Structure 1
Amino acid sequence: MTERVILSNDLLLSEVALMLSEGCTVTLLAKGSSMFPFIIGGCDRVVLQKTDCIQVGDIVLAYLTGRSYVLHRIYRIADDDIILMGDGNVSEIERCRRENICGKVLRIMHSGKHIECSSLKERCKVRIWMALLPFRKYILGVCRYWYK
């Protein structure tokens, strides 16, 4: 029988960040609801890899100085300043520096399917979702109702 071990996010993600910095590709089971509906916590897995090539719309693992790690989407890049926001959030943003980006999500594994984050279809869905920010509160309400 396989025993399940649950670690605190900070402990686990600091080790993940170290592995990413060493060039490893890491697969994680997502937790929480901040990336819903694109990533479903407790169900979906994400595949992360270190990269220097990031752009608006990418999902990244970032260290927020003095706080913790988050897996959120890039909403704005201004030189070395990065603005992040979870897809399931309606107003809360985080800020970090480019050097605090530990890795980028390459693919999401959802219900046996591998969703390539760099695919044209996925990038289009992301652009539409980001443009719908003013209506997100209502859309999320409907999505959460359907997902129950």
Structure 2
Amino acid sequence: MTYSIDIKHKKISNSRFLPEVIRMIGNGHSVTIPLKGYSMRPFLEDDRDKAILSKVRNLNIGDIALAEISPKTYVLHRIIGINGDNVVLRGDGNIACEHCRLSDIKAIATGFYRKGSNKPCLTSSRKWKAYSWIWTRLYPIRRYLLFIYRITL
């Protein structure tokens, strides 16, 4: 069963909202949630896009994971490193990294509804994999690309 949670008209803190989402995912459901924040720019936008989250099966570098980086503090960022039990994450629009343990990864994004589309862009698709491959390799110059992106909005 897949759940879609629309909280567009209600403001609920992530510290209250996401534990319920995580519980539902732990029970084997997929959950679609609206995105908050700008850390995954330029391709995922605050209050525009939605993430499809599912139970963690296998983690790989490049996956987008929902992680609890400190008590009741969650991020939906890309995994850029796994070393034993240690995971390094970074938002596509960020310079800094976050760190957590494998057990702190609560869900994995399997797709996104972008730009109001009713058809999800699956993270397993060629398009998403190509975007991810290119964008992650642009890390040294991303800050400049993001600056240009922000001033053209």
The 5 Å alignment of 1:1-148 reads: 4-66=9-71, 68-90=73-95, 92-111=96-115, 112=117, 113-146=119-152, 148=153
Structure 1 residue runs of 4 or more that deviate by more than 4 Å after TM superposition: none
Q: Which runs of 5+ in 1 are unaligned?
A: none
Q: Percent identity?
A: 36
RMSD of the alignment, in Å?
1.7
**Separation in structure 1 between the aligned mates of residue 150 and residue 28 of structure 2, nearest angstrom:** 36
Q: TM-score scaled to structure 1, two decimals?
A: 0.91
Shift of 1:67: 5.4
**Separation in structure 1 between the aligned mates of residue 70 and residue 17 of structure 2, nearest angstrom:** 17
Paired residue secondary structure (1:27): strand
Matching residue's letter, 1:126 = S
1:113-138 C-alpha deviation (Å, 9 max, x unpaired)? 42111112211211111111110111
**Separation in structure 2 between the aligned mates of residue 4 and residue 122 of structure 1, nearest angstrom:** 30
Q: Which runs of 5+ in 2 are unaligned?
A: 1-7
Shift of 1:52: 2.2
**Separation in structure 1 between the aligned mates of residue 151 and residue 50 of structure 2, nearest angstrom:** 22
Partner residue in 1 for 2:5: none
Paired residue secondary structure (1:123): helix
1:77-112 C-alpha deviation (Å, 9 max, x unpaired)? 11221100000102x111111111111111110121
**Separation in structure 1 between the aligned mates of residue 27 and residue 12 of structure 2, nearest angstrom:** 21
Paired residue secondary structure (1:96): strand
Asked if structure 1 preserves the Cα contact closer than 8 Å seen for 2:15 and 2:72, the reply is no
